[in-house]
Structure 1
Amino acid sequence: MTRPFVGSTAALWYARVPLAARVNPGTHDRNVIWDTLIIGAGPAGLSAALFTRMRRMSTLLLDTAVAGGQLASLYPKKPVHDYPSYTYVMGEDLGKNFVDQANHMGAEIHEREHVTMIRRDDDQNLIRVTSTKEEYEARTVIVATGGGAFEPRKINKPGEAELKGKGLFYGMPDVEASKGKRVLIIGGGDSALESALSVKDVADVTMIHMLDKWQGMDTYVEEIQASKIRTMLETETVEIRGDGKVETVVVKNKKTEATQELPMDLVSINIGFLMDTKAIRSWGLELEGNQIKVDNIMNTNIKGVLSCGDIATYPGKYKLLITACSEGAAAANTAYIYVKQPKKFTVGELYAAPKEEGDTQPKASESPA
């Protein structure tokens, strides 16, 4: 595999990329113009990169954390059941597959680089992107930041803050640490149900949920009901107790208001994450709530700026991993048409740009010095 380099003389040469490299960080001179710059290296962004590189477009991805998105950062030990071709696959493994494929296609990936501003330059007909490390120029930008920065939602009950990290945690429980333990899962959505299922064979598991029914996939609910997991609907947490570690949890039935104290060793809170979209709100994009409004081909209200994945919204959207991937492909296709302006467009071009176009490398900057 090779990657392009544009030096100060704008001469183009190729350097080998070690196959063992986790990501391809590149060595480009800063004064280049990318065909597309993708903000966010999760499934949506990496899918977009796959298809822009299939189009032979120069592609740079910037991610605040690590490539792989939520699969790598939030749910590495979560089994993913809803991605086609897998009965199930661990989040970190699926995330690595996305990254490996983008590397293989020659996309350049920068990790731990936070984008602070994007701005359209109408005079130069490009987008200027500012990060915590660098400034970039691109013909198109694809915003695929997921929900932005994530902070676990808290239940805000006595003992939660004091016992965090001392038997109380957020997200998927560790299977090894749960062996032989009494584990309480708080929540009723897919993540909570998957958390309970992931340790049901090694731990004594109890689930509580404030509502009168589960909010997750039917298959998860059926598996929970067929297992030995103790379930308590219409039940809320009153207090988490313990001397230096989790020992008991007081819960209350919302209908009867009866309380009981449950002996517990571990508490896993799975009630979602708060999205931090403060940076995106300053970019001039039209939002609907905390999401970027897009049309059916992933265009935003700013010319040359597209969006896909969890951060993007449109009527009838169904938020799934596979949806994020398909939106990434659609955004890449729209970026290709915008940048290359092909004379004709065929389905065959989805997999390879016309031979006369060749493999586009970052252009030397056209901005005044």
Structure 2
Amino acid sequence: MSVRIDIAELRPERVAVVSSPLAELGMALHALSEPAHHPALQGWVTSVTAGLDSHLADRMCEADFLWRSTFSDLFMPFAGVPGRSTLPGATLADDLGLLDKLSDEQFVDAALEFSCAMPYSSQGPPILADAEMRRRALELAASRGPQQVRFSERLLADPPWIRAWFRQFVEDCDEAFFAGAWSRLRHQLAADARHKTDLLRRRGLAEALASVSPAVTLDESAARITVDKLGDGHSTTGDGGLLLVPTSLGWPHLSVLHRYGWQPALHYPVGSPELAAPPSVDQLALRMTALSHPVRMRICRNLARSAYTTSELAQVHGMTAPEISRHLAVLKKAGLITTRRRGRYVLHQLDVTVVARLGSDFLEGILR
């Protein structure tokens, strides 16, 4: 499982690292709606929530599906501007100006992403002109609740009204809490963008992507970027560009904009507490599967307390040495145990640090 971006036609000068005020506001809204995803921001979330005007707080609930469960591409409109080479704006007003350049079809398509009504990585029928697609979107919205139904009905009937509502909401959030946060965060983001840009120029794209996250890799022979995520997707830069957009509020989320026809973008956290080499999604699944077997759980109980040989484990568990060896091989392949030789004996022991980290690894893997 991964998201792949084909970059066969990508020219080096078309790769840009640049922050976006609107994208960061979207991440701020997400953190306010899902504080459990962002424990490091607890103090900031508490402060902002306590100071929110009740009317604005109510409006934040009207369309929180745009930033709570999925990070809507409406917060990165620069990627959808025709030509697929537009950079984010320097100010929030600039980014909103780019949002105005999206067609009503693009706006509605991106806003309905929460309902999964439209194909994402491939071209689908125009929803505003397709009665069946509109019916399907409203049907899916109904399964999510009355708020989504009201929003979707208004969106499909009157896109300009929702566009005006969204713009005013963003401007009100900026005045209420985001302008102060952005004045602090933009310096860190600008410094990270300069660092990544310098890596691009001096060391190449592979080094720059590695500095974004260990979950992002470049296969130069295949001209493909792969982002290790619990999900599948595909995009191509074509004759457009590739954007790397840093966020200070985003960890543990590593978002990949790969909407059909839009410029691909990696929205990555800076200053994150992630491990130097977090496990891949496949490795995470392997570890959880290894620990799910009751015999291996009992073996882990022994190996957590002391080092054992295969023969000792066989005696303790009333099993044959080959049976124990097979279970040990599964645990070792998953990276859960260590082995060391003592004379002619091989001792096995549980890597307690790896097991203790499994919960946070799992959360990061599913939220990435």
Could you tell me the TM-score, scaled by structure 2's length?
Answer: 0.23
Q: Which has the higher strand share?
A: 1
Q: Which has the higher helix share?
A: 2
